[in-house]
Amino acid sequence: MQFWIIQTLNSLAMGGLLFLLSAGFSLIFGLMRIPNLAHGGLFMLGAYVGATLLGQSLPFWLAAIVAGALVGALGVILEGTLLRRMAGNEQGQVLITLGISFIIADLCLLSWGGDPVPLAAPRGLRPPVFLAGFAFPGYRLAVLGFALAAALGLWMLLERTRLGAMIRAGVDDREMARSVGIRVSRLFSAVFFLGAFLAGLGGVIGGPILSAYPGLDADMLPLALVVVILGGVGSLPGALVGSFLVGIIYNFGTALFPDFAYVILFLPMVVMLVVKPTGLFGRAMR
């Protein structure tokens, strides 16, 4: 019983991390029509930068936000310098994000070496929490809570603010949004910052669970792809539901059939593609 409860909690914590990763990925895809293949790299970069900041004895949550902001700034610079020049050539933009991901991965390897870099959880969250006679790892509960809070915050941003309304308009119909006077290219910067910020933040918050290692980017990117294929492109509820589904499948897959975790992950994707190619909450791409 303890096994199932702990694994369920682990799955939900993993789902929370995946939400931080794929919410931005999905929004960027929805608005700019490109899968940002550097997103796994931004997550990994966040984890490494966070580890370095923690080494300077910054408090954990401050380190997470600073690392997220740095990665977000990098995202804005990349979008403004490399991607904007290729506006209209979506395939070219995707290939550029792929090139960026290789560079990020290689420079991380150069800077932080080949050995995994561990990140320590905040001191107060290390002891287990006892609930109804079961011991829960405190940090994972906190990750789950944080991800849900982030989901709520993003939802408020998208549904209750002017910026959010403009982003939704851009996702729904970019040309129409332009013609009613929304400066969509500015939204690109905003969404890229938001997406990269969340990815970098997720990297630090995931650090105590996953640690930072070469290949973390290549492990995370397919998970984000599967989340978006399951949940639907550009949909926040889709990213949330997809993240928890993938978190549960990936975590139980790894625990029960370690050799096949990746293949098991692929089954729900296959089912979704056959049954509803636009994903749970998605609409057909224009």
Partner 1 sequence: MTRFASMRGWALTLIALAMLPFILPSDYYLGIATHALVIAVLALSLDILIGQGGMSSLGHAAYLGVSAYAVAWTTRNAGWPAYAAIPFALALGTLTACVFGVLALRARGLGFLMITLALGQVMWGAAYRWVDLTGGDNGIRMQARPVLLGFDLNNATNFYIIVCAVLLTTLIAIYKLDHSALGACLRGTRDQPRRMRMLGHDVWKIRFVGFVSAGFWGAVAGVLYAYDYLYVGPSALSLPQSAEALLMVVLGGAGTLAGPVAGAIVITVIKTVVSSYVDRWYTLLGLTFIIVVSVMPKGLVPGIRSWMKGNRA
Binding site for partner 1 (CB under 8 A): 33-35, 37, 82, 85-86, 89-92, 94-96, 98-103, 105-107, 110, 218, 221-222, 225-226, 228-229, 233, 258-263, 265-266, 269-270, 273-274, 277, 285
The residue (of 87 and 149) whose beta carbon lies closer to partner 1 is: 87
Q: How far is the CB of 132 from partner 1 (least distance, A)?
A: 35
Q: Which residue, 256 or 273, has its beta carbon nearer to partner 1?
A: 273
In the bound state with partner 1, the residue whose beta carbon lies nearer, of 146 and 281, is 281
Of 91 and 179, nearer to partner 1 (C-beta) is 91
Shortest distance in whole angstroms from residue 232 CB to partner 1: 11
Instruction: Report the nearest approach of partner 1 to the CB of residue 153 (Å).
Output: 27
Shortest Cβ 208–partner 1 spacing (Å): 23
Query: 230 with 246: CB under 8 angstroms?
Result: yes
**What span, in angstroms and rounded, lies between the C-alpha atoms of 30 and 282?**
10
* Residue of 253, 250, 243 lying closest to 219 (CA atoms): 250
Q: How far is the CB of 101 from partner 1 (least distance, A)?
A: 7
Nearest-angstrom CA–CA distance, 137 and 274: 38
Residue 34 or 51 with smaller CB distance to partner 1: 34
State the nearest-atom distance from the C-beta of 217 to partner 1, in Å: 10
Pick the closer one to partner 1 by CB: 106 or 159.
106
